[in-house]
Amino acid sequence: MIEALFSQPHYLAAKKALDAVALRHEAIASNLANLETPGYRRVDLAPSFQAELQRACASGDKARIAALRPVLAPDPNALPASRDGNTVHLENELLQLTQNALTHALETQLVTSTLLRLKLAITGRPT
Amino acid sequence: MIQMLSGIQHTAAALNVERTRLDVIAQNIANAQTTRDAQGKPYQRQVVVFETALQQSLATGQTAPEASLRVARIQKDPRPPTLVYRPGHPDADAHGMVAMPNVNLHEEMADLITASRAFEANLAVVRSARTMAMQTLAIGKR
């Protein structure tokens, strides 16, 4: 009964996306940390995660959304930035960092608004 | 331990390494004119070598990569010393040539800028992690 409150598909999806954003921040942190390590290959969220999340949301299957696990993988498409084989581009990473922070703001607001709506439905008055 | 700021351990390691690099650059610039070290030879430029163990831990399938950026070693630049004609110098050889350190000031300055920019990039990561943590803590609040 109480489970149903927190298991709407879009709420679950927002939580998963938030997990993914936190993990992505870790990837960007490690990329920027290894800006000058020879032969380092940049890591990012595995591209399959985005596609899987979209498909799971479209299907509306809660179990399928809940089973998703974001993972990091070396970026296969990144080109070397210099002759030492390092594939991290500083500008690109900083751009991704900002983008990721904005996505995080959006998703926390999504989660917050869901919780506030629930609260409104329970109490009957806006907090 | 609870992981508040994601990715902070890589960033801390990188800040440490960049600091070491700045120290070594400072040492190179300071010794740009040193013609006699402890062994009586001209100073040799030092280079910091970075290494990471992140890729290995990813390969073993761990989702949370280990913080493992570190200074592999600080090695000497093998380039030969530059010879300058200074007959009055106490370290001059029979032809009046003095072996000066293989430190190139322009090269060091360029390195210095790269290192401090890399340092700033890592600080940007910390700032953004902090903002994200604050937003996460504010979930459910208006």
How confident is the model at residue A60, as a pLDDT? Answer: 79
Task: Render the burial of B37-49: b for 16+ CB within 10 Å, e for the rest.
Answer: eeeeebbbbbbbe
Partners of residue B46 on adjacent β-strands? B76
Residue from A107, A49, A20 nearest B6 by CA? A20
CA distance B50 to B7: 19
Q: Please state, in angstroms and as integers, the Cα–Cα distance from residue B107 to each residue in A104, B28, B111, following that order.
A: 40, 11, 6
pLDDT tens-digit readout, A45-58:
888 888 888 888 88
First CA to last CA across chain B, in angstroms? 28
Side-chain-side CA neighbours of B141 within 13 Å: the count stands at 6
A-to-B residue pairs, Cβ atoms closer than 8 angstroms: 115
Instruction: Flag whether pLDDT at A68 surpasses 80.
Output: yes
Whole-structure pTM value: 0.78
Task: Say what the ipTM of the complex is.
Answer: 0.75
Interface residue B60 vs chain A (CB under 8 A):
no
Specify the pLDDT at position B63: 47
The pLDDT > 90 percentage for chain B reads 28
Measured between CB atoms, does B116 come within 8 Å of chain A? no
Could you tell me how far CA B15 lies from the centroid of its own chain? 9
State whether residue A25 is helix, strand or coil. Answer: helix
Residues of A in contact with B142 (CB under 8 A): 112, 116, 127
Q: What pLDDT digit, counting tens, does each position of B19-30 carry?
A: 999 999 999 999
pLDDT digits (tens, 9 = 90+) for A1-35: 577 778 888 888 888 899 999 999 989 988 888 88
Mean pLDDT value of segment A95-99: 93
Supply B93's token pair.
Answer: 């050889």
Largest Cα–Cα distance in chain B? 82
Of all residues in chain B, the one with the smallest CA distance to A110 is B139
Summarised one tens digit per residue, pLDDT across range B96-142 is 899 999 999 999 999 999 999 999 999 999 999 999 899 988 888 87
